[in-house]
Homo-oligomer: A and B are copies of this chain.
């Protein structure tokens, strides 16, 4: 689960730079016998695709996946699944002026220091274009999880200071795709969109929070001690570009509540054991308890702003940078399917791991 590989049993190993030939990867450990719904995969890629609305980057990329192995007559074979998404709309010249310059709060400086060499075009390997491989793998995971009755829904819950003021149970999550921000409160979504549009006009960028809910997750997922389910979800989310924080259940909030107030009380509901509340966020002792799993992910504003910024070049000389190119003023709308994809990969991986608990 380091370098370019994610997962233990179900694993994605990805490759590709923003302006290279392609983004792609190898998916290993995907269960055999799952029908691959190509329309669904494309639909998920479209949710991530640039150029989908006025508040995303104007780049147009087809972003169609080509599977190269592991699927036979429309069904997964259990063998590794290779895939590529060709890069077709790269304007590498937009980056010529950045070849020798370190863009502030990007990975330019750290990659150069670490590797001594860097593909500067479009951010190279550090570009969020890499996440297209995650959406492909995550969508396969969703196809498998669908058979288990697991549903994963992410949504934008905060942009700048505009935020949902109730928890997810107060909203109709099926309405998320009704607006370009992917927020379940249509009125707030409009305000968020206006704010993003205005920020874009300023050449500036803005961050926010994506929330995610996992429903129907089987009880028992999670490995004790160092493989806690929420640690795996946190690791997954923190691997997404621009993410600065992760919390689940009560997280950083309600610190005034004491143990006696936060505990989720059990009771008997007919023949079943039930919980009166779900402040734990669906995970206790690192293991899913059958309640909804919910968590929040903080995104910083995109570092690329279309205004002049002082900086230095690779020789240490001070200079002024003005980014060109087509950039997102706010990544959250397009990051919603990425959060879902990472969650889906994690849950499927842990579902498979959990099968090894008993003989």
Contacts and interface: CB of A to CB of B under 8 A. Distances in A.
Contacts of A258: 160, 199, 202, 204-206, 301, 305
Interface in A1-29: 1-6, 8-9, 11, 13-17, 20-26, 28-29
Interface residues of A, number: 154
A251 B359 contact: no
Contacts of A102: 266, 273
Nearest to A248: B244
A193 to B, nearest CB: 16
B68 A288 contact: no
Nearest to A257: B301
A311 B266 contact: yes
A65 interface: no
A323 to B, nearest CB: 10
Interface stretch (A42-50, A51-59, A107-115, A171-179): A107-115
Given A22-B68, A231-B238, A264-B105, A300 B357 contact: no
Given A69-B20, A247-B252, A358 B259 contact: no
B266 A209 contact: no
Interface string A80-111: 11101000000000000000001011111111
A80 B147 CA distance: 32
Contacts of A64: none
Contacts of A205: 258-260
B318 A268 contact: yes
B110 A220 contact: yes
Most buried by B among A29, A104, A267: A104
B287 A105 contact: no
B3 A268 contact: no
A119 B16 contact: no
B250 A110 contact: no
A38 interface: no
Contacts of A16: 68-69, 80, 82
Nearest to A249: B244
A266 B104 contact: yes
Interface stretch (A180-188, A221-229, A333-341): A221-229
A354 interface: yes
Contact of A113 (B219, B248, B317, B356): B219
A125 interface: yes
A161 interface: yes
12 contacts: A5-B5, A15-B81, A16-B68, A110-B288, A148-B359, A204-B259, A207-B255, A230-B244, A244-B281, A258-B305, A259-B305, A356-B356
Given A14-B225, A107-B285, A268-B316, 18 more contacts: A2-B227, A3-B225, A16-B80, A21-B68, A26-B26, A31-B356, A32-B114, A68-B84, A102-B273, A104-B266, A105-B264, A115-B357, A126-B286, A161-B256, A245-B251, A252-B298, A258-B305, A263-B309
Q: List the 6 shortest-distance A-B pairs measured between CB atoms, nearest first.
A: A107-B285, A245-B247, A15-B82, A2-B227, A205-B259, A259-B301
